[in-house]
């Protein structure tokens, strides 16, 4: 009986302390989204202003962040199931407010939506030109309301830019819708594919720069306050300037 009680106690402790909300160390999901989030695969180093900003906020509150590199689609699932504490750069949507506590925004950014095709690919001059195309997109990404809700478009959803770049080169899709143009271009360069072009049609897309925490996370109010103070006193602006970047107010 004593042995059974000991096992039960051990199992209970494992449950109680399995989430980082009960300790000073928080779990953060990171992904390669240059220039704000950069993953150096050769040296396994993570860098970028979004990392610096939230780490400084965490330090003010007596926390550290343990980062892990996770695809964004899995990060959304982690937020739903409280398996992570912080995810940088989560686009704010009504649907996601059902399971995400948003921190910020720390500023506004202009992330125009582009469409990329092969050099001799279809011409995309306006939204209607998308109707006949097979469009590659990243699973779980919010682009813009009209596109996201358009059930008549032919969409192929994949996990990441790695797959999108190779599918475009192989001609398996006609175009790629792109929120993070530098990330896709980096993948196209990695496979030495130069025969691509940006479509004339561009969707203007100013978005708030948010962090995501699981809904009702106990640390969310304190982090929001810390980020508000850092934005007001210029700390966030200075961190972005260090990387040669800027945020719109």
State the number of CA atoms in the 13 A half-sphere of 48 facing the CB.
Answer: 18
**SS3 at position 136:** strand
168 within some domain: yes
Based on the fold, state whether residues 9 and 104 are members of the same structural domain.
Answer: yes
Q: How far apart are CA 217 and CA 183, in angstroms?
A: 30
Domain assignment of residue 226, given as a range: 2-108+209-242
Residue 65: inside a domain: yes
Q: Is residue 213 domain-shared with residue 200, that is, in the same domain?
A: no
Q: Is 116 left (phi over 0), alpha (psi -120 to 50) or beta?
A: beta
State the pLDDT at residue 110: 82
Report residues of the chain scoring pLDDT below 50: 1-22
In the chain, the number of structural domains is 2
Give the domain CATH number at 184. 3.40.190.10
Within this chain, do residues 199 and 213 fall inside the same structural domain, yes or no? Answer: no
Residue keyed to tokens 């897309």: 205
Residue 248 lies in a domain: no
Characterize the bridge pairing of strands 87-88 and 211-214.
antiparallel
Q: Note whether 185 and 228 are same-domain residues.
A: no
Whole-angstrom distance, CA of residue 195 vs CA of residue 216: 47
Q: Are the CB atoms for 19 and 82 separated by under 8 Å?
A: yes
Q: Which residues pair with 101 in a beta bridge?
A: 213
Q: Is residue 221 part of a domain?
A: yes
pLDDT of residue 42: 84
Structure confidence by residue, pLDDT tens digits, 225-249: 999 999 999 999 999 999 999 887 6
CA distance 172 to 129: 18
**Contact status, residue 104 vs residue 211, Cβ threshold 8 Å:** yes
Do 129 and 185 lie in one domain? The reply is: yes
pTM of the model: 0.71
Residues 20 and 85 in one domain: yes
User: Are residue 146 and residue 66 in the same domain, yes or no?
Assistant: no
Does residue 232 form part of some domain? yes
Q: Quick check: is 247 in a domain?
A: no
Residues 7 and 102 in one domain: yes
Same domain, 22 and 82: yes
Based on the domain organization, do 93 and 129 belong to the same domain? no
For position 17, what pLDDT does the model report?
35
Q: Is the domain of 101 the same as that of 148?
A: no
Q: Are residues 29 and 83 in the same domain?
A: yes
d(CA 120, CA 195): 8
Say if 42 falls within a structural domain.
yes
On whether residue 27 sits in a domain, the answer given is yes
Residue pair 203/82 in contact by the 8 Å Cβ criterion: no
Predicted confidence at residue 23, as pLDDT, reads 58
């Amino acid at each position: 009986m004593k042995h059974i009680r000991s096992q039960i106690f051990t199992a209970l402790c494992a449950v109680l302390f399995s989430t980082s909300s009960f300790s000073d160390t928080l779990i953060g999901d990171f992904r390669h989204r240059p220039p704000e989030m950069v993953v150096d695969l050769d040296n396994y180093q993570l860098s970028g202003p979004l990392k610096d900003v939230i780490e400084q906020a965490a330090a003010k509150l007596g926390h550290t962040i343990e980062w892990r590199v996770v695809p964004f689609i899995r990060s959304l699932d982690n937020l739903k199931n409280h398996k992570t504490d912080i995810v940088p750069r989560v686009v704010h949507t009504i649907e996601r407010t059902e399971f995400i506590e948003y921190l910020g925004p720390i500023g506004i950014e202009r992330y125009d939506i582009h469409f990329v095709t092969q050099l001799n690919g279809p011409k995309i001059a306006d939204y209607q030109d998308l109707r006949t195309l097979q469009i590659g997109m990243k699973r779980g990404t919010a682009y813009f309301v009209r596109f996201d809700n358009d059930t008549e478009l032919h969409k192929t959803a994949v996990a990441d830019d790695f797959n999108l770049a190779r599918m475009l080169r192989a001609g398996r899709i006609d175009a790629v819708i792109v929120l993070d143009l530098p990330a896709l271009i980096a993948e196209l360069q990695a496979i030495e594919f130069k025969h691509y072009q940006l479509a004339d049609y561009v969707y203007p897309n100013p978005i708030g720069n948010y962090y995501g925490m699981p809904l009702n996370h106990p640390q969310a109010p304190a982090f929001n306050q810390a980020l508000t103070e850092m934005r007001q006193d210029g700390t966030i602006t200075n961190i972005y300037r260090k990387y040669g970047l800027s945020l719109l107010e």
